[in-house]
Structure 1
């Protein structure tokens, strides 16, 4: 994906990026996160420290674009079955939310892991019907 293709999507508002994320992930069956050289996943705390979340992207190009300037971060894919089976319970247990597709304007759609799972399952059932 070229930056010409990335920019219009990245510049969408948070709700549109969330919908884009659901459709892309529903089709590709993969979620992308950023990990550092020690294989630890990136998590972000809100400015007030009240919320911690795992940022996720619909494609590696978006994650890599977000990580520009951070030498030790690289995109890693998680298959949707793994995300549902391992990550959702783990994130819930650890009290981490999911930050869906952070934008360049630093806005992000923050949701609970179980809610994201339900939304993704709804989108996938639409794909299966269509």
Structure 2
């Protein structure tokens, strides 16, 4: 990914970043997050619910590896594993999802909707 595309996509509004996320993860068949020896990066939403963070590319995840997450590294998750294990596990554990944080904001969509949107996009391939 070139620097110009990175900067452009980081400036998109949250809904457009979400659509970009869905298209990219289906296209490349992988999802990215940040982790270290303590585990995956998390935050709390306004209601105190724990959220896991996911990005469409390694470069987007790496862009957010600053401040509290400065000691983390981008790690890929296969799309198949994400859809078959991560999303159902997060639902079961009542963990929320934060999509495409840009060091300012992200979008949190109900997990069943994320799953449905990925499945819909997969039908285009």
Note the residue ranges of structure 2 that are not aligned, 5 or more in a row.
Answer: none
Indicate conservation of the 8 Å contact 1:56/1:99, yes or no: yes
Determine the C-alpha separation between the residues in 1 that align with 2:72 and 2:44.
17
Determine whether 1:26 maps to 2:29.
no
Over 4 Å off, 4+ runs: none
Note the C-alpha offset of 1:42.
0.8
Note the residue ranges of structure 1 that are not aligned, 5 or more in a row.
Answer: none
- The number of aligned residues is 124
TM-score by length of 2: 0.90
Determine whether 1:120 maps to 2:118.
yes
SS of 1:21's partner is helix
- 2:94 match: 95
